[in-house]
Amino acid sequence: MKKKGSSNGRKTLLKLNRAYEKLTNQRNDFLHKLSRFYVRNYGIIVTEDLHIANMVKNHNLAKNILDASWWKFFKMLSYKAERAGRTLLKVKPAYTSQENKELIEDRDLRGSINVLNRGLLGVGTTLSAC
């Protein structure tokens, strides 16, 4: 254990700060690349209007939700879509994975199709189920 205020303690703290900075830079780089990919490749982007602050109240998931930086990703996606003239739609997340249970077994796939259909209904078109 390092003594508080010692030069070895300062060196260790500096190493830790560099590691955190590197991790933050890697996360931001990934989020920029991912948001840019969606904006470049899709004219209409549909997401769930997730309330991150409420989701973080679940202490079992809070760390993972915050580490994923969902709020930052949605913010990047929003301003990049606006600059590129793309349409970004947000749909209510309630019951998205519970509709059409008989058609699709995979809950994630079913949820993503339901989110897309809800968004496209607002635009005036739909996607037929696989």
Q: What is the pTM of this model?
A: 0.74
The answer to whether 110 and 97 are in contact (CB under 8 A) is: yes
Longest dimension (CA), the chain: 66
Pick out the chain residues at pLDDT < 50: 129-130
Cα–Cα distance, 74 to 69 (Å, whole number): 9
**Encoded tokens for 23:** 């991790």
Domain locations along the chain = 7-43+52-80
Cα–Cα distance, 114 to 118 (Å, whole number): 6
Q: Write down the pLDDT at residue 66.
A: 82
Q: Write down the pLDDT at residue 114.
A: 82
Contacts of 31 (CB under 8 A, 6+ apart): 69, 72, 73, 76
Q: Write down the pLDDT at residue 125.
A: 60
